[in-house]
Chain A
Amino acid sequence: MAAPRLTRRAVLRLMLIAGIGGGLAFAERRTRPAGLRQFMTWLLRGWRRRVEPPATVALGASLSYDEALLRDALTELWDAAGMPDVAGRRVLVKPNLIEWIEGRSLVTAPEVIGAVIDLLRSRGAAEIVVGEGPGFRRDAGPVVAQSGLADVLARRNVPFVDLNYDDPQPVPVRDGWFPGQRQIWLPRHVVEADLVISVAKLKTHHWAGVTLSLKNLFGVVPGIRYGWPKNMLHVNGITPSILGLKQALPPVVSVIDGIVGMEGDGPLFGTPVPHGVLAVGKDPLAVDVVGARLMGFDPEEIEHLALGIWAGIGQGVHIDMRGGALEALRRRYRRPPK
């Protein structure tokens, strides 16, 4: 019997298979720790976003913290942005209460939280809770009191929950942003919410570039599980943690308080910027892209926004602006130190 002969065609076929195999192995290695499959999911979703309809972001301008004016403005922006129906839903309002240092514009203004609560009530929300888990406060209570939020909540009979202590529940991580972790622990009120409203402050941030409605989600991670600050998020990487939290949470929509923003050494030691703006939208990525532009950043400069756009975390490419004109409201905030 004749020995099998390796034909030229067979050699070419073997080389092709080896090439594909080698290419896949190379791609798998280059896309670690997410892996090739996850990488392709992000890539394709990001491409798909480019042909999807735009997200709507509504911008209010020339605003102050006058409660009545703010309530009217927020209602108008909420409708213009096509925000979700909240009737009968459990809503968690998540302000930025990172810290309280007298005289610094660090936190979401309590008047903005008050306006959000009034709007939710008027639209028939079944349950409203305001919650935050500061990374640098073992006890959020004093920040709530000193910032004036406690009075705002007491007048409206709305509870505040310190999310650092709120019976953490395991939630599966989604979308590959926490490699090596099957689950992340989140506070009970977050897990049980039908809707989370991230009511952020327009600020620069020395690690993340900007802190807006996505970075504000760090405050939902419970300290009793992860410590103060939530070091796990830094070990995992700030950018993947921001995007991973967005994907692990119930639906999140955004309101950004830029009536007084912060430039320079944010999020704690920056300088206040009277800016008079409020941004509202149901796609947090789109709202944050607008927020970054309001501060004079190109979203591509901000790693978590650039990656969020690339991976299609939201609609960051096509944004339909309502209300104030972005270009007219754009400032150039001083950059945070490197």
Chain B
Amino acid sequence: MRTSTEILLENARAFLLQAQNPDGGWGYRFGSPSATEPTAAVLLALAPDPDAAPATEAARRWLRSAQRPDGGWGLDPEDEESGWMTAWGILGLARWDPHALEVARGVRWLIGLPVLRVEAAELTAEVRRILGIDPSLRGWPWRPGEASWAEPTALTLLAVHAAAAIEAYRDRVEEAVRYLIDRRCQGGGWNFGNPFMLGAYLPPRPHPTAWVLLALKALAPDAIRSEDREALRAEMHRDGGAMALALGQMALTALGAEDEEARERLRALQGPDGSWGQNPYVTALAVLAFRGGWPWLRRG
């Protein structure tokens, strides 16, 4: 007899297969144009499922064709610029082959990506006063030449980790880990970038906190504090959306601190069509949460 989680996963898979676009990718909504992030996320969610092999093969073809000549990925093949979705392009393909040529080209693009960094002493002091951060540390930006932010930094670290390329870029990776630690909110967790602005401490947010905890778990587990975990738990419940609950549960699973209440809340949010909000990206995250978490990290 099938368990309730098995039924949930089957229904989710049925939705995802139905929502796949004829070009092989997935969009952010049923019927919307294929984009790199949802396509790669669904690839991770369906990867272990042999019945989904034709769908995942088509999706990998889409991802490969969406890679830009510079090695990066944009929002979709029409995008004229590579950006943060490069991390997702790598993750989607590295799930099958971490040493694939496309993966290596994507990693090289990310490593060479220019990031806004403040180095002048007087500017550094001013930024420290206003934002409470060390602006000389580089993470990764959403788009080339912009400032570093928590989520693209964490996603890039996870992509480099999935591509088994940490050792090749050790210095850059360690700087990015220091960046993440520097941006920790007072009391734990992460906001989108700065933890402090003009005299006010910013609250942690569930989505960046979950991604950062996954990245730290992969690369610097000793840097994780119990208050980060508790911040994530509190914030994902306060948010209450499927995206926050799925991501939060994935990160907590990696930390060996699964949250039963989050699991049940997430279960209750699944629609009759098997999806979470008819959104392939969120549905993929939910599937990953129910399947045991981030594919490259062991539970606990």
| A residues in contact (CB < 8 Å) with B | 101, 136-139, 141-142, 145-146, 165, 167-168, 185, 206, 224-229, 231-232, 234-235, 265, 268-269, 336-338
Complex alpha-carbon distance, A224 and B282, angstroms: 14
Complex alpha-carbon distance, A185 and B145, angstroms: 18
Knowing A227-B84, A231-B147, A265-B200, the reply to whether A138 touches B243 (Cβ < 8 A) is: yes
Q: Count how many chain B residues have C-beta atoms less than 8 Å from C-beta atoms of the other chain.
A: 40
CB pair A224–B37 under 8 Å, yes or no, is yes
B142 lies within 8 A of chain A by Cβ: yes
B112 lies within 8 A of chain A by Cβ: no
Instruction: Indicate with 1 or 0, residue by residue over B119-160, a CB within 8 angstroms of chain A CB atoms.
Output: 000000000000000000000011101110101100000000
Q: List 18 A-B contacts (CB under 8 A).
A: A138-B244, A139-B243, A141-B241, A141-B277, A145-B240, A167-B27, A168-B75, A206-B197, A226-B143, A227-B141, A227-B151, A228-B142, A228-B149, A228-B151, A231-B149, A235-B145, A337-B199, A338-B198
Complex alpha-carbon distance, A196 and B199, angstroms: 35
Name B149's contact: one of A145, A165, A227, A337 (CB within 8 Å).
A227
| B residues in contact (CB < 8 Å) with A | 27-29, 32-33, 35, 37, 75, 79, 83-84, 116, 141-143, 145-147, 149, 151-152, 191-193, 197-200, 203, 205, 207-208, 239-244, 277, 282
Instruction: Return A180 CB to nearest CB of chain B, in Å.
Output: 11
- A227 contact set on B, CB distance < 8 A: 83-84, 141-143, 146, 149, 151-152
Q: Is the interface of A mostly helix, strand, loop or mixed?
A: loop
Instruction: Return A141 CB to nearest CB of chain B, in Å.
Output: 5
Name B192's contact: one of A139, A229, A234 (CB within 8 Å).
A229
Q: Is the interface of B mostly helix, strand, loop or mixed?
A: loop
Complex alpha-carbon distance, A337 and B130, angstroms: 10
CB pair B27–A232 under 8 Å, yes or no, is no
CB pair B143–A139 under 8 Å, yes or no, is no
CB pair A139–B239 under 8 Å, yes or no, is yes
Interface centre among B27, B146, B282 (most CB of A within 10 A): B146
Knowing A165-B28, A231-B143, the reply to whether A265 touches B241 (Cβ < 8 A) is: no
- A224 contact set on B, CB distance < 8 A: 28, 35, 37, 75
Name A142's contact: one of B27, B35, B199, B240 (CB within 8 Å).
B240
Instruction: Return B47 CB to nearest CB of chain A, in Å.
Output: 23
Complex alpha-carbon distance, A139 and B151, angstroms: 14
Name B207's contact: one of A139, A231, A265, A338 (CB within 8 Å).
A139
Complex alpha-carbon distance, A165 and B191, angstroms: 20
Instruction: Return B163 CB to nearest CB of chain A, in Å.
Output: 22
Knowing A165-B29, A167-B33, the reply to whether A265 touches B149 (Cβ < 8 A) is: no
- A231 contact set on B, CB distance < 8 A: 141-143, 146-147, 149
Instruction: Return B58 CB to nearest CB of chain A, in Å.
Output: 21
Knowing A142-B241, A142-B244, A227-B152, the reply to whether A269 touches B200 (Cβ < 8 A) is: yes
Knowing A141-B277, A224-B75, A232-B143, the reply to whether A265 touches B32 (Cβ < 8 A) is: no
Complex alpha-carbon distance, A226 and B207, angstroms: 17
- B29 contact set on A, CB distance < 8 A: 165
- A138 contact set on B, CB distance < 8 A: 151, 205, 207-208, 243-244
Interface centre among A101, A165, A185 (most CB of B within 10 A): A165
- A234 contact set on B, CB distance < 8 A: 147
Instruction: Return A85 CB to nearest CB of chain B, in Å.
Output: 31
CB pair A228–B192 under 8 Å, yes or no, is yes
- A269 contact set on B, CB distance < 8 A: 200
Knowing A139-B239, A225-B75, the reply to whether A265 touches B192 (Cβ < 8 A) is: no
- B243 contact set on A, CB distance < 8 A: 138-139, 141
Closest to B151 in A: A228
Complex alpha-carbon distance, A232 and B144, angstroms: 10
Instruction: Return B61 CB to nearest CB of chain A, in Å.
Output: 22
Besides the known contacts A139-B207, A168-B75, A227-B149, 19 further A-B residue pairs in the complex with CB atoms under 8 A apart: A101-B203, A137-B205, A138-B243, A139-B239, A139-B242, A139-B282, A165-B28, A167-B28, A227-B83, A227-B151, A231-B146, A232-B143, A232-B146, A234-B147, A235-B146, A265-B199, A265-B200, A268-B200, A337-B199
